[in-house]
Chains A and B, each alone.
Chain A
Amino acid sequence: MTVALPRRQRSPGPDAPWVDDVAGRLVRPYTVSRGRTRPTAHFDLMTMVRATGRRPAGLQGPDYDRVLGLCGRPVPVAEVAARVRLPAVVTKVLLADLVDCGALTARTPSAASAGPAPRTDRALLEAVLHGLRQRL
């Protein structure tokens, strides 16, 4: 039997409230790793990090070693967090420490930072199109 599909009503504005009646409000935690708080604004999930080869002077601990061990090639914050099985916000703190001591270098892709939206860049889109086609 064919059932009619439910119909979406276009929402009146771009900013419907972030409320879930059942669960209550959800916000980002202010918290952080090991009781410390530090700004992580310069890292997002797509920030790429890579080991410089310099030893992390003054930083010790298995978490730092594991993180650094994953960064032999450029790798985004989201992938590091997934592989070390730590929440992204905690991973960002560890990565920031490693950048601060020179063991890692970081770059937020221009595609993921301010500036013209990447969808306006034809050369980039064509490279993506080409790369995807090669996988078929």
Chain B
Amino acid sequence: MDFVNDFDPRLPGDPEADSFPTAVKVLVAGGFGVGKTTFVGAVSEIAPLSTEELITQISVGTDDLSGVADKTTTTVAMDFGRITLGPEHVLYLFGTPGQHRFWFLWEELSHGALGAVVLADTRRLDQCFAAVDFFEGRGIQFVVAVNEFDGGHHYGPEEVRAALDLAPEIPVVLCDARQCASGTQVLLSLVAHLLSSPVLTSTPEPS
């Protein structure tokens, strides 16, 4: 019967819904030089990419946003990576600079994110404080991954946890940001942490 061929199983109003995979994102944050770009590049299946955002910098002491005279526009680069998890799921990674002044970018980036990896370098642990503050303050789930550089003194995860004053359930793991398997273990520790979360529900209730 001809009309059977006209049947379209896709939902009206969202005709393309089934042609997009489910995309999830994870943020990789931390101070300058801690290994964010290295981490994203190591775990990503594509060569590391850099996504740029324009930002407008307003001179110190200027409060009036309409005064164009004191503004300069610059760019900030974010590392971008992809991990295809299967035919229906793809994970995107965003490596973001850690300083307080980029928090407005994180507001967009963290929206809908599964969670975050905070990379820490024990030679300069204070560089990751801003990232921990941000995620902790917004209730975004995260793990701390200590990127072990050669020559750095080895601190155990519990020493790092104590110094960061982390809640006991937040995982602290050691990693080598240059190695795909090590970075993947960090991501697994994040997902395992999310799965252990008490707010987890199974399937959404029909409403």
Interface residues of A in 71-125 (CB under 8 A from B): 74, 76, 78-79, 81-83, 85-90, 105, 107, 109-113, 116-125
Residues 49-106 (chain B) with a chain A CB within 8 angstroms = 49-62, 65, 73, 75, 78, 80, 82-86, 88-89, 91-92, 94, 99-104
Interface residues on B, range: 35 or more
Q: Shortest CB–CB separation between residue B89 and chain A, in angstroms?
A: 5
Closest-by-CB residue of A relative to B66 is A30
Return the contact of B165 from the options A8, A24, A116 (Cβ within 8 A): A8
Query: Nearest CB to that of A90 among chain B residues?
Result: B54
The complex places the Cα of A48 from the Cα of B22 at a distance, in Å, of: 10
Q: What is the CB-to-nearest-CB distance from A8 to chain B, in angstroms, rounded to a whole number?
A: 5
B contacts with A: majority SS: mixed
Cα-based distance from A81 to B53 in the complex (angstroms):
9
B201 touches A28 (CB 8 A): no
For A121, the chain B residues whose CB sits under 8 A away are 201, 204
Q: Which residues of B contact A (CB under 8 A)?
A: 14, 16-17, 19-25, 49-62, 65, 73, 75, 78, 80, 82-86, 88-89, 91-92, 94, 99-104, 108-109, 111-115, 122, 125-126, 129, 132-133, 136-138, 141, 153, 155, 159-160, 162-165, 180-181, 184-185, 187-188, 191-192, 194-195, 197, 199-204
Listed A/B pairs (17) with beta-carbon separation below 8 Å: A3-B153, A5-B159, A7-B165, A24-B61, A25-B62, A28-B54, A50-B16, A50-B20, A79-B51, A79-B80, A82-B52, A111-B25, A112-B112, A120-B201, A122-B201, A128-B91, A132-B91
